[in-house]
Structure 1
Amino acid sequence: MVTKWDPSKWEIHKLYSGHPDLKKLLPHTEILSRGTLSEFLNRYSYVYIKGKNEHTGLRMIKARKIRHGYEFVNVKGDPIYTESFEDFYEQVTEGRRSSSILVQRAIDLAKIEGRPFSTRLMLMRDRREKWQYAGMLAKVAGEHSVVTNIRRGGGYAATIEHALSKSLGYSREQIERMKEKIIDTGYRLIRYAAKRGYKTYETGIDIGIDKKGQIWIIEVNLAYPSYGLFNRLEDKTYYRRIKELAAEYKKKK
């Protein structure tokens, strides 16, 4: 039984790859090598290259194969071009072992005024150790950023209602159905982790929604999830609930 867990992205991917349904929501991901990078670039329009143990969008690269070479952006800014695959591989692995890096299919996320967003879902245990829905928001990427992490790429926090209305034109009923789907997926994620022996009392889950309304599991933080973003919303209801649940659980301990 695992009592303390600070998982890598790869460990999380392997964990949920074992679930018959949740694995369908995971973007195709592999350990980086010349072979896997070449395969992904030929197969997908865009790919992400990111460290197994790096968080907050650190050194996140979005790349694609173009007619006469390769193009990539490191976190944010203007694209960098290179003609040679070998030169491209050397640049995206600079200072890192390839075994510590993942290559992943990039999901075509829904956008607000041309800027992609992902959702952050918070689930927490109460004093009776029952899981409770604590809040949800949208993380909108900064201008020219390839990550929705606001600390790293700029951007802003918004309500999920605003994000779904502006990006996909959802009605109130469609928004509520999507929220229920995301929350249900979150509960399934934490229950499966518990079933596999992982203990946690709070989790921050990043869910992507593509342009067709399909949800994708981007990241599951089962240890030390950040929730400061909720304090950026004008309505502090979720932030207060998160703080209250955290204090309630710690008092019980």
Structure 2
Amino acid sequence: MSKQPAYLGILATPSTKHPPFPDRAFYAYLSLAGKKIGLPVYVFLPHQVDYASKTVIGYRYTNQKTWERRRFPLPAFVYDRLSNRKRYASQIKSLKSCPSVTFLGHVLGDKMKNHQHLIQHSGLLPYMTPTELVHSIQDVKTALLNYGAVVIKPVRNSLGVGVIKITSENGTHQAEGRDMHNKIFHKYFPSRASLMIWVKNQLKVQMIVQPYLELSTPEGIPFDIRVLVQKDGTGNWSETGKAIRAGVVNGLTSNLCGGGKAHNASSFLRKYYDENQISVIEEKISYIVRELPPFLEGRHGRLVELGIDIGVDKDGEVWVIEVNSKPGRTSFQRIEEGIHFNQARLKPLKYAYYLARQNNWIRR
């Protein structure tokens, strides 16, 4: 007997808007695409699951371009896009413990946990920035003595929020970056002691400390390369696309939400590196993209997509900056006439369809 119907449920972050979740255009696109291939899609919130009746209050996008709220069966597959995970930890745990529900991927842990996983791969180790957990202000002082300039980051931040560069040498003591409200700041201090007092007050959330890397153009524009890798319709990892994210002049981060711009990767790099350097850079990036996803998945558990942020310094050295299991797609909408954008949105659905067929939820 067929197990139909099977649903893909998008686990979304609650909001006060209508319908009550963000990313509505993305979810509407998946909903319409799912209907075409025979894997219906709805959006639901973490508190809308009724385990007694094995149903969910969800939202489905209709052909009339409206959101319909109704009761659905529990999803066979969950595409987890939920933020505020600490707040909804018990709901996530309950849903994951349900034997009829398969998560397409499990959201990654914090920056330190991801770093500790990746440094176990000897081939990836040369691309990993030395990273330490900040237990006290002494850890920052030690790193500053070792490297001259350091960056501290909240272990659970995103979008560049709370990233701070600290410099204390040649009589200059300063801190710059983005505060917890994502506002750019530059602060100067009369002494290292006064700088450290200010830094100590920033350690109210758990932080990591790393050496500062010059990941900027000669004009002082910070940039990184966002590589989007996703499971495809065959269940395998594949690169969907890569884009440069370039920040504002003399800024610290390159995130688009902080005023950055997206560029075609090849043409951008050719402005600053010669052909031999570019060949080496591309070879190293290809290696990272090939090795990192399956290795991280083997240590962490099932993943469906990753945004790998890669930095290139002025000497052409390549660095893994960060790995995100809930990557944004805006960069790919803004470059190359959006040719990679639809694939970036569709691949999670294609992977869910692959799993549904493998489990005979959908007839072949």
**Which SS does the other structure have where 1:247 is aligned?**
helix
Q: Give the whole-Å Cα distance in 2 for the aligned partners of 1:63 and 1:209.
A: 20
> Who is 1:167 aligned against?
272
**Which SS does the other structure have where 1:59 is aligned?**
coil
Q: Is the 8 A contact 2:108 2:114 kept in 1?
A: no
Change (3 A) 1:80 1:174: closer
Change (3 A) 1:151 1:189: same
Q: What code does the residue aligned with 2:199 have?
A: V
Superposition TM-score, scaled by structure 1 size: 0.88
Count of residue correspondences: 247
Structure with higher Rg: it is 2
Q: Give the whole-Å Cα distance in 2 for the aligned partners of 1:240 and 1:91.
A: 45
1:192 aligns with 2:295: yes
1:82 aligns with 2:189: yes
Q: Is the 8 A contact 2:177 2:253 kept in 1?
A: no
Q: What code does the residue aligned with 1:130 have?
A: N
Q: Give the whole-Å Cα distance in 1 for the aligned partners of 2:337 and 2:283.
A: 20
Following superposition of structure 1 onto structure 2, how do residues 116-195 of structure 1 map, counting pairs within 5 Å?
A: 116-152=222-258, 154-168=259-273, 170-171=274-275, 175=278, 177-195=280-298
Change (3 A) 1:197 1:156: closer
**Which SS does the other structure have where 1:103 is aligned?**
strand
1:228 aligns with 2:327: no
How far residue 174 of structure 1 moved from its aligned partner, in angstroms, is: 5.3
Gaps (5+ residues) in structure 1?
Answer: none
How far residue 68 of structure 1 moved from its aligned partner, in angstroms, is: 3.1
Q: What code does the residue aligned with 2:158 have?
A: H
Equivalent in 105, 110, 115 of residue 8 of structure 1: 110
> Greater relative contact order: 1 or 2 (C-alpha under 8 angstroms, separation 6 or more)?
1
**Which SS does the other structure have where 1:235 is aligned?**
helix
Per-residue CA distance 1:82-127 (angstroms, 9 max, x = gap): 23444323323436436x1111111112416331211000111112
Q: Is the 8 A contact 1:208 1:215 kept in 2?
A: yes
Gaps (5+ residues) in structure 2?
Answer: 1-102, 357-364
Q: Percent identity?
A: 25
**Which SS does the other structure have where 2:201 is aligned?**
coil
**Which SS does the other structure have where 2:344 is aligned?**
helix
Q: Give the whole-Å Cα distance in 1 for the aligned partners of 2:106 and 2:231.
A: 16
How far residue 197 of structure 1 moved from its aligned partner, in angstroms, is: 4.3
Deviation larger for 226-235 or 154-163: 226-235
Change (3 A) 1:17 1:160: same
1:91 aligns with 2:198: yes
Deviation larger for 85-94 or 114-123: 85-94
Q: What code does the residue aligned with 2:286 have?
A: I
> Who is 1:64 aligned against?
167
Superposition TM-score, scaled by structure 2 size: 0.62
Following superposition of structure 1 onto structure 2, how do residues 198-217 of structure 1 map, counting pairs within 5 Å?
A: 198-217=301-320
